[in-house]
A and B are shown apart, each in its own frame.
Chain A
Amino acid sequence: MPAESGSNRRPETGAFFQRDRTWHPPALTPGYKSSVLRSPQKALLSFDNTLSEIAGPVFGHAMLGEFDADLIHNFARPGESAIGERIIVHGRVLDERGIGVPGVLLEFWQANAGGRYRHNRDGYLAPLDPNFGGCGRTITGEDGFYAFRTVKPGPYPWPNGPNDWRPAHIHFSVFGHGFAQRLITQMYFEGDPLIWKCPIVRGIADKAAIEALTAVLDTQATIPMDALAYKFDIVLRGRRSSLFENRLEGN
Chain B
Amino acid sequence: MTQSLDRLKESPSQTAGPYVHIGLTPNFCGIGGVYATDLGATMVNDKTKGERIGLRIRVLDGTGTPLKDALIEIWQADADGLYNSPAELRGAADPNFFGWGRCPTDMDTGVCAFETIKPGRVPFRDGRLMAPHITLWMVARGINLGLHTRLYFSDEEEANAGDPILARIEHRVRVPTLIAERQGDTYVFDVHLQGEKETVFFDS
Contacts and interface: CB of A to CB of B under 8 A. Distances in A.
Interface in A194-230: 200-201, 203-204, 208-210, 212-213
Contacts of A58: 85-86
Given A27-B144, A46-B204, A251 B123 contact: yes
B201 A44 contact: yes
B144 A29 contact: yes
B89 A13 contact: yes
Interface stretch (B46-54, B130-138, B154-162, B180-188): B130-138
Contacts of A185: 11-14
B92 to A, nearest CB: 11
A246 B198 CA distance: 33
A209 B22 contact: no
A246 B124 CA distance: 11
B144 A203 contact: yes
A101 to B, nearest CB: 12
Nearest to B200: A45
- Provide the main secondary structure of the chain A interface: loop
Nearest to A98: B8
Contacts of A119: 18-19, 21-22, 29
A120 B193 contact: no
Contacts of B133: 52
A26 B144 contact: yes
B143 A27 contact: yes
Contacts of A13: 87, 89
Residues of A in contact with B, size category:
35 or more
A135 B11 contact: no
A209 B144 CA distance: 14
Interface in A26-46: 26-27, 29, 32-42, 44-46
A121 B198 contact: no
Main secondary structure of the interface of B (DSSP, over half): loop
Contacts of B77: 52
A54 to B, nearest CB: 5
B34 to A, nearest CB: 5
B135 A179 contact: yes
Contacts of A121: 18-19, 69
A246 B144 contact: no
B14 A57 contact: no
A235 interface: yes
Contacts of A11: 86-87, 89
Given A48-B125, A53-B135, A119-B29, A213 B12 contact: yes
A123 to B, nearest CB: 12
Nearest to B144: A25
Contact of B10 (A32, A57, A109, A235): A235
Interface in B6-31: 6-24, 26, 29-31
B193 A38 contact: yes
Given A45-B168, A55-B87, A184-B146, A25 B12 contact: yes
Contact of B86 (A23, A75, A177): A177
B9 A20 contact: yes
Contacts of B26: 133, 135
A19 B198 contact: no
A7 to B, nearest CB: 10
Given A51-B83, A135-B34, 9 more contacts: A47-B202, A49-B204, A51-B88, A52-B135, A55-B88, A96-B10, A118-B31, A247-B126, A250-B126
29 contacts: A27-B144, A42-B198, A44-B203, A45-B169, A46-B202, A52-B130, A52-B135, A53-B204, A55-B83, A57-B100, A68-B34, A109-B20, A118-B30, A118-B31, A121-B19, A133-B22, A134-B31, A177-B87, A179-B135, A180-B148, A200-B15, A204-B12, A212-B9, A234-B11, A235-B9, A236-B10, A245-B125, A247-B127, A250-B123
Nearest 5 Cβ contacts at the A-B interface:
A109-B23, A250-B127, A34-B142, A38-B142, A11-B86
